[in-house]
């Protein structure tokens, strides 16, 4: 056997080992990508009480995330949001209000003032965040992610824009400011994500 033949034989013998190493690396990369997949549970807001409000605490539930304002023509939608919360909370819906001053400067108050306004006027008791930027380059990471996931048309254009997150943490739908929280469109989308009966405690 010549030197060239021995070299070729050795090279061919090494191919399976090399391929196994490549596939092993590829599999590892895929596993790493899967484990680091971003969804709504990856994000944490600052709660209106000053404490962290991680969306991961609502894992397995549907979440309606709504940017709100106290001095907007659509502020009465708070009433519909509270009604949704009361109607579906036992079946696994969480409403999260995100006060924002981005549109028209219609949320000028402090966290305490916003909280008092919501409780006194609409008896809001669903989770609320501190005042948050929801649009532009400085938007909260959740809103940047949601805009990337749902596309340009789904970005908040005004107060009371709504993102609906499924129990798997993925965005399920979105609704514009003009869509009333208690509309058939919103309720049907929520119903599709929830079990028919409230889970037993």
Give the helix/strand (H/E) hosting 182: none
Q: Tell me which residue has tokens 């196994």.
A: 20
Say how many Å lie between the first and final Cα of the chain, rounded.
77
Q: How far apart are alpha carbons 87 and 34 in whole angstroms?
A: 35
Helix axes 184-193, 77-88, angle to 10 degrees: 30
Residue 76 Cα to chain centre, angstroms? 23
Alpha-carbon distance 96 to 64, whole Å? 6
Range list of β-strands (E), 44-170: 44-46, 52-54, 62-68, 93-99, 162-165
If 0-12 CB within 10 Å is exposed, 13-18 middle and 19+ buried, where does residue 199 land?
exposed
Instruction: From the candidates 40, 55, 65, 72, give the one annotated as an active-site residue.
Output: 72
Token couple for 57:
């605490």
Is 118 catalytic? The answer is no
Known catalytic residues are 72
């Amino acid at each position: 056997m010549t030197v060239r033949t021995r070299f070729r034989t050795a090279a061919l013998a090494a191919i399976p080992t090399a391929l196994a190493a490549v596939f092993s690396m590829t599999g590892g990369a895929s596993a790493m990508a899967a484990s680091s997949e971003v969804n709504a549970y990856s994000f944490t807001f600052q709660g209106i009480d000053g404490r962290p409000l991680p969306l991961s605490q609502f894992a397995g539930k549907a979440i309606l995330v709504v940017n709100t304002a106290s001095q907007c023509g659509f502020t009465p939608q708070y009433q519909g949001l509270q009604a949704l919360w009361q109607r579906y909370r036992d079946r696994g819906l969480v409403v999260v209000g995100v006060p924002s001053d981005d549109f028209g400067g219609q949320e000028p108050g402090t966290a305490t003032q916003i909280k008092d306004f919501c409780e006194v006027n609409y008896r809001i008791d669903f989770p609320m965040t501190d005042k948050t930027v929801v649009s532009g380059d400085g938007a909260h990471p959740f809103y940047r992610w949601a805009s990337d996931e749902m596309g340009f048309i789904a970005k908040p254009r005004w107060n009371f824009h709504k993102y609906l997150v499924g129990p798997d943490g993925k965005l399920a739908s979105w609704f514009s400011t003009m869509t009333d929280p208690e509309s058939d469109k919103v309720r049907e989308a929520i119903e599709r994500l929830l079990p028919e009966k409230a889970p037993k405690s």
